[in-house]
Structures are given as C-alpha cells and as structure tokens.
Amino acid sequence: MSNSKLVAGVDSSTQSVKVVIRDANTGALIRQGRGTHTDGTEINPSIWKDALDGAIKEAGGLDDVAAISIAGQQHGMVALDSDGNVIRDALLWNDTRSAQAAKDLNHELGGDAETARKVGSVLVASFTASKLRWMADSEPENAKKVAAVALPHDWLSWQLQGGKDFSKLFTDASDASGTGYFDPSTSHYRDDILKLALRHDADYVLPRIIKAGEFGGTTTSGVPIAGGAGDNAGAALGIQAEPGDVIVSLGTSGTAFAVSKTPTHDSSGQVAGFADASGQFLPLVCTLNAARILDAATRILGISHDEVGELALSADAGAHGLSLLPYFEGERTPNRPNAKGVFSGMNLANSNRADIARAMIEGMLCGLVDAVDALEKLGVGVQRILLIGGAAKNPGVAPIASALFGREVLIPPAGEYVADGAAKQAAWALLGGTSAPRWDLGSVASVKEKATPHVVDQYRVLRDQTENW
C-alpha cells in the first residue's frame, strides 16, 4: 500500500459519525473509526466536532490521507453570529416545532405549487428555511444576530479549516437543496426566500457551492477537503446508483430516492426535488420513522433485533388483520408532524408476539411502499430497488419488503455507504475525471417473495382513516 493514495470519507449522521479511510483507486477499506452523538432534535454542534475528532483518531488519523470529504444529515440549522459563534443549539431535521412556520412560508411564497417550482420542494418542518422562520417568530433576538447560516456538513468542513473565516464556508448542491432557499434546477441560492424566512432584509453569508469533483478548502494541517454531500446523496454515490435505481434506506429515517437526469417539482409535497452529489438530481421521499420502529419492537417484545425479524417471518402476511401506523415521532410523509403511532385491528387472535412483530415491520415498510409509488407517479423510472441502512440487516426486513413492493429487492453488502460516498467525492477531486471512480461493492443479494398487496391496502385504510387525528 505504500504507493496508494488514501482518502477519508465521513458520515456525520443524526446519531453517530463514521469515518472510513479507503484507497482512492480501488476503494479498498484501509481502516475506520466511529463516534456517537447526543440523542435529541437539537444539539450543540461542538458535539459533532468532538465526535468527528474522536472518530478520526480511532481511524488512525489523517497524516497519510491525501483528501477528505464530509457527508452529513441534511437540513439542520446552524446559525452563526458575526464572530462565527453558534447562536443557539442546531435544530435538526427531525425537530417538528417548525411545522406551522413551513405552512406560513409556503403560503407567503404563493402556495405549494409555486414553492415547489421555486426550490424543487414544498417546505415542511424539516427544511432549514422553516426552522429559520420558527426562530424569527419564537426567538427574534437570536434571529437578529444571524450573520451566516450553515448545515451540519458545511459547519464541520469549516471547522476542519479553523472555523474563523466566513469566506471558507462551502457546501455542495445536494446539501444546499435541502435548505428551502436553494433552487436545484439552477444551482443558485434564493436569497429572497432566506430573507423572507428570517423576516429581515440583511445580507447573510451562505456557504459557496462546490461542484462535484472539486475541492473547497484544506484542513489546518493541509489536507484538501472536497465538497461534501447530504447523507442520501452520499449514499447514492457510495452505492453507485444509476438512473432507474431506487434506493430504499432504512436508517433513523426512512428514505426512497433515485438518481435522475431531470429535476422534479412535486406540488403535493410528497417528493422533495433535491440535487445529487454528481451533478444530477435526487428526487426523494422521506419518512421520519424507520429503524427506530424496530428498536421499539425490541423493547415491546423484550427480544433482539434479529429475533424480531425471525418472529415476524413466522407470522402470516398481514398479521391476521393487525396494522401499525408507525408515526411514533410524528411524520414528514405524509406531513403529520403531531401524529402518533397507532395499532389497529387488534383482536384476541392476533394479540400475540409474532403478529405484533410482523405488523411493526410491515408498518415501517408500507410508508416506503407509498414513497416508491410517489416517485413513479412523478415519472421516475423504477427498474431496481436497492435496500440499505441499518434496519436492512434484519433477517425479516428484505423478505417482507419484497412482498410489499411486489418485486425483487436487491441487498448490497452491509457498509457505510454515506461515508463511502464522501470518500468517493474526495477520490474524484483527487484523481480528476468527469465522474466519480467506480469501486467493487462485492456481491449483491437478491430476494423475491410473493406479492402481498392486501397488506398495503390494509395499511392505507388505516393511514386514510387517521388523516385528521
């Protein structure tokens, strides 16, 4: 390995940070590290930096690394004052207090359809613009202090450069497209929307946009830093998704997204029209509740994650009429920020551990069946479904997913695809070329089960019945 060029990729997610060190040419994993974040929907960004420093140290440091790139959770609001200090704890994507602010902004921008036309997406509580409006209304003194706004991965890339000079703030189109004040179709900020959100006509510093395959700065020790990416865009790059591939990711949130050559503008608000990390587009549907439903199942049933999956497979599809609406932490798609989880159809026959386990996995996945349907309705081609994320490892998830989607499901090898996507960005900028390098992902498993449309129908009845709850 003495002649190899090494790159570092970072995934700074909601719950943890992962660092991978890979060979830029082959993608071979050399070493890795990990750190944890504090739970909650708001957090002091210094915790991210401390975790990143620890993960880099655990990964053997950056002394022999030729380039680094950071991918991270989207939307999180990092508001900075004129001295570069964080004004208040960052509000994360899963903080729903800004739900009304999102509605207000959509109305002020001319309605949902007009908002989607301007920024690719209808605003919901998750978006940075919504959080800034919430701050302007609920914490006006903090809002008046804002001199610059960054996202988690922007702020971390800036910290690696010393975190002093606003001119060194940079991001990429994929992460910027989740702010609500950026137009992915033109790759330009909408400063007018930012000012509208903050209710103030000041000039604000926003991270400059770095194109795919370019460096944005260097660490204090001289390591070049590539543009970075939003987490889902990083995963798409890491898994080498092509147009026609739909990736269903089961992490803290559930997402279904596809690489597209054309931008999308969904006035219904179901599909967010994001940019990807390669210069194309990433139509995406996000649910707030995914892997955490399995966590809840382990607590309810008092068994391990694998045992939940095995127990679910022992039950019949549809859990003998038992359905779960998995909106434990509110929901983003559909937009029900104040919703809660609901079990329905429970009787004496299905009041057993196997049916409960089955209903919980089916409930988690049915929202993502709706997500893939929403992509198809916008004209996104679905040729393959790739299942990734922590919950995809559960033995019950892939077979049940295949039955619910009614098609073959592909399961790539378990990996840190967001961090890998960031590493690819670093390798792309380091090696040059018109596209990211392609690495060997290893063998891809395939699962094909008999379709169970009645389960999806059962779920949708419950979804629609509870619309106004």
C-alpha distances (whole Å) from 248 to each of 39, 253, 257, 306 are: 24, 11, 7, 20
Q: 40 with 96: CB under 8 angstroms? A: no
Q: 272 with 178: CB under 8 angstroms? A: yes
| Neighbour count for residue 105 (Cβ, 10 Å) | 23
Q: 343 with 326: CB under 8 angstroms? A: no
Q: At what angle do helices 152-160 and 46-58 cross, to 10 degrees?
A: 60
Distance CA 374, CA 288 (A): 16
Per DSSP, what are the bridge partners of residue 255? Answer: 249, 286
**H helices within 264-335, ranges in order?**
291-301, 305-313
Residue tagged active-site, from 11, 231, 266, 355: 231
Measure the CA angle with vertex 423, ends 422 and 427; round to 5°. 120
Smallest Cα–Cα separation from 289: which of 45, 38, 93? 93
What DSSP letter does each residue of 37-64 carry, written as one string?
---SSEE-THHHHHHHHHHHHHTT-STT
- Give 288's DSSP letter: S
Smallest Cα–Cα separation from 331: which of 384, 277, 371, 381? 371
Identify residue 84 by its one-letter amino acid code. G
Residue 231 annotated to the active site = yes
Torsions phi, psi for 72 (to 5 deg): -160, 170
Q: How far apart are the first and last CA of the chain?
A: 59
Distance CA 156, CA 151 (A): 9
Distance CA 72, CA 229 (A): 7
Smallest Cα–Cα separation from 171: which of 192, 193, 150? 150
Q: Which residues are catalytic?
A: 231
